[in-house]
Amino acid sequence: RKEVEQDPGPFNVPEGATVAFNCTYSNSASQSFFWYRQDCRKEPKLLMSVYSSGNEDGRFTAQLNRASQYISLLIRDSKLSDSATYLCVVNPSVGSRSASKIIFGSGTRLSIRP
């Protein structure tokens, strides 16, 4: 089993729809979680951190389910500009050793159609 797994998609949804992706992780000791967005042929950029209590940033909601070991990203009222690949990132430990343990998922491709 991969340490971090994502459905590669593509998810093809109409503008205005709500879409959600999950990302599962295998290390139950994982401490911090992030969602990054990567546009085609560009570098990844932070979309949002994922907090234990869940967090929302405008149309985006991130949640963490420690019991089932997954994080989720919900996008409401999707826009054409949301078309991108979404990478989940899991950091399994705290401290300097965690520098080498950050794991990126392979990404979920999202395509929003007019």
Residue from 55, 69, 72, 106 in contact with other proteins (CB under 8 A): 106
Contacting range for other proteins; rule: CB under 8 A; set: 13-21, 53-61, 68-76, 87-95:
87-95
Q: Does 66 bind other proteins (CB under 8 A)?
A: no
Residue from 27, 44, 60, 111 in contact with other proteins (CB under 8 A): 44
- Angstrom CA distances, 26 to 29, 75, 98, 110, 111, stand at 9, 24, 16, 24, 28
Provide the token pair at 110.
């999202």
Q: Does 40 bind other proteins (CB under 8 A)?
A: no
Q: Does 31 bind other proteins (CB under 8 A)?
A: yes
The nearest distance, CB 13 to other proteins, in angstroms, is 22
DSSP annotation of 3: S
The residues, ordered by sequence, that sit 6+ positions from 101 with a Cβ below 8 Å of its Cβ are 91, 92, 93
Closer residue to other proteins in complex, CB, 3/13: 3
d(CA 32, CA 16): 30
Contacts with other proteins by CB under 8 A lie at 8, 31-32, 34, 41-46, 49, 87, 91, 94-96, 98-100, 102, 104-107
